[in-house]
Amino acid sequence: MNLALIILVVALKFGLPVLYLWFPFAAGWGNWVLDSVDGDLLIPAGLANATYQNLDKAADWVGYLFIFIWGLRKPIRREITATFLLRTVGQVLFFTTHREIVFFWFPNLLEPLFLVYVTMARFRGQEMAQAIYRRRLVWIWLGILVYKFQDEWFTHVANVDRSDYLKSLLGG
């Protein structure tokens, strides 16, 4: 068991979301990358899958909480609040039933909304981000919904690794 790696990755999973309040772009994208690879690091390092799943979901909710806190001061606070509550219901249902399908019905729309918004703000400024968001609302939400429903399906319903799936489609 690689205890040092496990401690480092778990500390980052719970610590990076705190930085959303001061560095939303860097911390948000850093946490997204970490969340994409953490299982590939933690399970081979010796963390049991069941333990990983519980830690991952708890760390995810900490991230959602800090996005919610960040969003309370933003013009998109209604959207942030609604998507936070939606996913929180999914989190509660998961921890009480341990059925991953609840994540498909209560998808994580909060994180992609946050990442889209902070990316626009990073490159165009806060005021322009709000103007772009309002002007492109339908397209932004269409992208978020398509992305997240396929993501939730692959991750929590089909339980298929997308890399393996794409390899099989391409004959690899």
Burial class (CB in 10 A: 0-12, 13-18, 19+), 33: exposed
Mean of the pLDDT values across residues 130-140? 98
Task: Indicate the pLDDT class of residue 161, thresholds 50, 70 and 90.
Answer: confident
Q: Is the pLDDT of residue 48 over 90?
A: yes
pLDDT, position 164 = 74
Residues 6+ apart with CB under 8 A from 156: 100, 101, 103, 104
Among 150, 148, 89, 153, residue whose Cα is nearest residue 113: 148
Cβ 126 vs Cβ 76: under 8 Å: no
CA distances (Å), origin 148, targets 1, 3, 93, 111, 144: 33, 32, 18, 10, 6
Q: Where do the domains of the chain lie?
A: 3-169
Q: Is the pLDDT of residue 123 over 70?
A: yes
pLDDT, position 168 = 78
Mean of the pLDDT values across residues 19-27? 98
Mean of the pLDDT values across residues 152-167? 82
pLDDT, position 163 = 67
DSSP type of residue 172: -
Mean pLDDT of the chain: 95
**Residues 80-95 pLDDT 10s:** 999 999 999 999 999 9
Residues 6+ apart with CB under 8 A from 102: 90, 93, 94
CA 15 vs. chain centroid, Å, equals 14
pLDDT, position 172 = 67
Q: Is the pLDDT of residue 160 over 70?
A: yes
Report the distance separating Cα 106 and Cα 103, nearest Å.
Answer: 5
Residues 6+ apart with CB under 8 A from 18: 66
CA distances (Å), origin 15, targets 6, 34, 63, 76: 14, 12, 9, 24
